[in-house]
Structure 1
Amino acid sequence: MFLPIPPPAQPAVPTAHPELTETQVKMQQDVLQHFENPEYIPTDSEKPLMDVEKMWLSYECILRYLRASKWKVDAAIHRLEETLKWRRSYGIYDALTADLVEPEAVTGKQILLGYDTNGRPGLYLLPSRQNTTESTRQVQFTVWMLERTIDLMPPGVESLDLLINYADKAKNPSFSTARAVLSILQDHYPERLGLALILNVPFLLNAFFKLITPFVDPVTRNKMKFNPQVIQDKIFSEEQVMKEWWGGACNFAYEHDKYWPALISLCEERTKTWTATWHKMGGKVGLKESDYKTGKPDGGEATEAVPTTHSEPLES
């Protein structure tokens, strides 16, 4: 089986969060109690939580929203409710399909490949391969790829790396499109960005970044690194990053007919396995992602509960 995102030879060690204080534990429990109430129904809806939404409302998810809300319980609950509402209206569980966004994928302008030294999956953005005009579907494709990146996060990993290359006459997204994506990321994917690694920023794009900087929260801004040396800086190991531009050892050539179905299959297989484990562990709000991904309560050292078929990426 062709794997579009081969696993690391050695398991990476995720960056650990500080141990929770007693007050923070109480805050997490308060948020959990709000959503695990059997009578809870999302805002502006008559439909109770679906299983996929209960699984999304994990222990780690609640903490991500609490951290993003500066440990304010009411604010975290509000943000979670807004995201539940948005995920339904945006079609995350039904309308946002691989078939819908595939026309955006054929040139390989967004590619999932490799893991950094902290186990974060890498999502490459290659604006020079833009193949469509500005449209709602471009934003939908970015959201779809974000969801697939999350599907491929190993146990203990909650964030991703963006590897953006503006070489080869890359087309800069419009201000409105950039703001739309930033808004979705900040409002509905808090604590998900590990690093944004950006190469070959031309003068005009530098001005563009300055223009959108006020709309980027300070925490996200500090995660942006321009023209990094990802191997020398020990962000990625050589075998986990592309050779071209990034200096890795991976000679990857995008072939849509092979990559696309393999990516879909891998993500579906993982989510199916993890969902089955989540059900066996009680299938309720607040279960730990690390538990259902390892198949062992409290994480432990169990083998990751996903298929273990390995193969090499396509060679150029």
Structure 2
Amino acid sequence: MTLSSVTAQTGYLDNLTAEEEGKLQEAWIHILRLCGVEESVKHKTPDRTRELQQHLSDKSADVFRRRLWSFILADHPDVLVLRFLRARKWDVDEAMAMLVSAVNWRHERRLEEDIVAKGDSVGLAAARSADEESFLAQYRSGKAYVRGADRERRPVFVIKVRLHDPKLQSPEAMEAFILHNIETIRTMIRYPDEKACLIFDLTGFGLKNMDFHVVKFLVQVFEARYPEYLGVVLVHNAPFVFWGVWKIVRPWLDPVIASKINFTNSNADLARFIEQENLQSCYGGKDSWEYSYIEPVAGENERMQSEKKADVEAARAELVRQFEQLSVEWASLEPKSVASVQKVAERRHMAKKLAEAYWDLDPYIRARSYYDRAGVLGATGAVDYKAAQ
């Protein structure tokens, strides 16, 4: 396939109806007000800034602005906003409350400081806490990894549940491992291929592997914090004992997430979603690769301590300011009008510059991961899901 299936659906960046573009404009008016861009108050959209600020621990416009842009990463900013709009069925008020709450949650969870900036670089520390040791043990175990892409060009994230023992690490260590995986995969996916394929491999699964805390956490974060990141979920080789567990888990699922779940039991079942060339041989495919963790290397994160970081951040901040100004101008235009189409093109061009600026900044704010060391994720953001041969 040459194009992702999202290009055939409305509600995505390149295929918005006039009504959907209008909703996106409304959303940006709220965002711009929260960021302290005062020019946006002239628009007819009611000012809900104070109400939305109730979801924030710090109501400073500058603080929200910084946290929002650390959430956006390298994609077109509209892609993130559209995720929340689709998740709330285009109710702008609910979508913005959800987005603002997610921004605040990221701060409370210290995602930038403890998850993104540290990651598995804790493997280089002379002394590690029990949770840090457990965090590393998850990566070394091979219980979860990205390998290849599915037929929709989405990264395939494999979870081998039989390798998980909930008694071997604290819930906090598992949550950190999950969040680090999500944040790492977020650096790999690009519009229009903006979702992931998850395989829960239940081969050899027993009740000793069941971790209800992890399941609840996954459900919560994908529903409320990372909406619209799941493309399809494949539950593979579920044994008889699993179906009792499923009766408990099924009611926890949001209907949208539940609709993405497919049960597979054979190579033919998986081949409906993943081509043979991209399917590991352990599942009957032609890819003989097996996961082997690559340990962090001394000096790989040295730029995180560089004085140049401030200059790189300032360069990106200027592009953010320009994108915001273009958004102010675009938000006042009639959706799909000639003027709007032109402004959309200008914003697209600026978004491309922002993406390039992000990858300039990336080595100063994100610790290198297994996927950087394996060559899956390149220095300029290029992705090769089968780089590690």
TM-score normalised by the chain length of structure 2? 0.64
Supply the distance in 1 between the matched residues of 2:383 and 2:222 (Cα, whole angstroms).
31
CA contact (8 A) 1:155 1:293 kept: no
> Using a 3 Å threshold, how does the CA distance of structure 1 residues 276 and 14 change in structure 2: closer, same or farther?
farther
Residues 24/12 of structure 1: CA separation in 2 closer, same or farther (3 Å cut): closer
TM-score of the superposed pair, with normalisation by structure 1: 0.78
Amino acid at match of 2:29: Q
Q: Which residue number corresponds to residue 197 of structure 1?
A: 234
Please, which runs of 5 or more residues in structure 1 have no aligned partner? 1-9, 296-304
CA distance in 1, matches of 2:174, 2:314: 32
Q: Distance in 1 between matches of 2:270 and 2:199?
A: 13
Count matched residues. Answer: 287
C-alpha separation between the residues in 2 aligned to 1:221 and 1:71? 20
2:139 corresponds in structure 1 to 105
Counterpart residue number, 1:238: 276
Max Rg structure: 2
Matches within 5 A, 1:41-190: 43-47=56-60, 48-49=63-64, 51=66, 53-54=68-69, 56-57=71-72, 58-96=77-115, 97-98=118-119, 99=122, 100=132, 101-130=135-164, 132-170=168-206, 171-190=208-227
**Unaligned regions of 5+ residues in structure 2, if any?**
37-48, 123-131, 328-346, 357-379
Q: Which moved more, 1:42-51 or 1:80-89?
A: 42-51
Q: Which amino acid aligns with 2:163?
A: R
What is the distance in 2 between the residues matched to 1:76 and 1:310? 32
Percentage of pairs with the same residue: 18
Deviation for aligned residue 1:215 = 1.3
Higher helix share: 2
What amino acid does structure 1 have at the position aligned with 2:143?
A: K
Q: Distance in 2 between matches of 1:125 and 1:223?
A: 16
Q: In structure 2, do the counterparts of structure 1 residues 73 and 12 end up closer, same or farther at CA, with 3 Å as the change threshold?
A: closer
RMSD value, Cα: 3.5
Higher relative contact order (CA 8 A, sep 6+): 1
Correspondence 1:219 to 2:234: no
**Distance change (3 Å), C-alpha of 1:83 and 1:105:** same
Q: How does 1:3-18 map to 2 (within 5 A)?
A: 13-16=4-7, 17-18=9-10
List aligned pairs for 1:252-267, cutoff 5 A. Answer: 252-257=289-294
Contact 2:231/2:260 (8 A) holds in 1: yes
Q: Is the 8 A contact 1:55 1:278 kept in 2?
A: no
Structure 1, 171-180 or 157-166: larger mean CA deviation: 171-180
Q: Is the 8 A contact 1:172 1:205 kept in 2?
A: no
